[in-house]
């Protein structure tokens, strides 16, 4: 089974560029996948850099493209937006037996699962870090200049993949799950996907990764003070402590009164895209 070429599902014009949804067969995830791409007007004439956006629990590739309002700024800056799904999908892909929102379909947590029955399909880390960049850069007018961003579970994924992989020039996150080895969402996901040996969880914990780094790429994190997940699930103070231990290279900001919703993302996505545009090689 191999990765197949892109099949266009839909296309709309937005701010002079193209918002496109693609389907392909993923060799890494062993299933059909859909993802969305925004190509700015500049892509009609030259290859452009890309910002990868990782969405949160329950989301698909369509949440960010329809709610964040990012296309206007991406068009101005000449940035492509690559927006994958949050997990493998399909009737053959195992799901949570009780249909819970925080595990299984829509909740891949951007890890490479090692436990059965999840390991056959739930290889989201490799899908984001390896398969998807290779696919889109072969098929679309993209350079090899990349940044990564995300929200909540996707913010966790962006931080982890951005810290572990050198292919991204900059990292940003909205309301990320900062310390999943110590929160209920992380315990459930990691325990099932990775098993009971908690030493294997460390490779997917942004706070633990950050505190071990002597140097990091440019990082911007925004967290709303009215986020109802902040205290129990997101654990932003752990990321702040790790940032201090690593030399304070990350910019971590609290935004007064903002919650966990896409209203928060829409309010600051322009700053994040401009941050990435400044730091792309």
**Residues labelled as active-site residues:** 152, 227, 260
Residue holding tokens 């909740």?
A: 107
Two tokens at 150? 């995300």
Q: Any idea what the Cα angle at residue 73 is, between residues 167 and 41, rounded to 5°?
A: 85
Sheet containing strand 171-174, edge to edge, reads 7-14, 17-26, 31-39, 80-84, 48-54, 142-151, 171-174, 219-224, 250-255
- Which uninterrupted H or E stretch holds 253? strand 250-255
Q: What distance lies between CA 73 and its chain's CA centroid?
A: 19
Q: Which residue in this structure is represented by tokens 């900062």?
A: 178
Cα 231 to Cα 221, 226, 234, 260, distances in angstroms:
16, 10, 6, 12
Q: Which of 57, 61, 63, 13 is nearest to 39 (CA)?
A: 13
The answer to whether residues 272 and 175 touch, using CB atoms and an 8 Å cutoff, is no
**Total H helices, total E strands in the chain:** 9, 9
E-only strand ranges, 27-180: 31-39, 48-54, 80-84, 142-151, 171-174
Give CA 103 to chain center in angstroms: 16
Q: Which two tokens stand for residue 266?
A: 């829409």
């Amino acid at each position: 089974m191999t990765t197949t070429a892109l099949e266009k599902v839909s296309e709309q014009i937005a701010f002079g560029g193209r918002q496109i949804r693609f389907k392909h067969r993923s060799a890494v995830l062993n299933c059909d996948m859909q993802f969305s791409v925004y190509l700015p007007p500049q892509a009609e004439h030259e290859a452009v850099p890309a910002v990868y956006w990782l969405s949160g629990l329950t989301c698909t590739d369509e949440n960010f493209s329809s709610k964040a309002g990012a296309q206007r700024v991406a068009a101005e800056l000449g940035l492509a937006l690559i927006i994958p799904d949050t997990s493998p999908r399909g009737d053959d892909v195992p799901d949570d037996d009780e249909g819970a929102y925080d595990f299984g379909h829509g909740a891949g947590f951007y890890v490479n699962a090692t436990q059965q029955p999840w390991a056959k399909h739930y290889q989201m880390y490799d899908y984001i870090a390896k398969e998807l960049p290779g696919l889109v850069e072969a098929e679309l007018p993209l350079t090899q200049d990349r940044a990564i961003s995300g929200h909540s579970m996707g913010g966790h994924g962006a931080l982890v993949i951005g810290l572990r992989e050198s292919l991204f020039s900059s990292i940003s996150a909205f309301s990320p799950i900062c310390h999943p080895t110590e929160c209920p969402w992380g315990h459930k996901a990691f325990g099932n996907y990775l098993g009971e040996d908690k030493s294997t969880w460390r490779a997917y914990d942004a706070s633990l990764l950050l505190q071990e780094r002597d140097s990091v790429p440019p990082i911007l994190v925004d967290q709303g003070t009215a986020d109802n997940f902040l205290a129990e699930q997101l654990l932003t103070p752990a990321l702040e402590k790790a940032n201090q231990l690593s030399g304070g290279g990350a910019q971590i900001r609290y935004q007064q009164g903002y919650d966990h919703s896409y209203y928060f993302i829409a309010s600051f996505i322009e700053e994040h895209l401009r941050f990435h545009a400044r730091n792309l090689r």
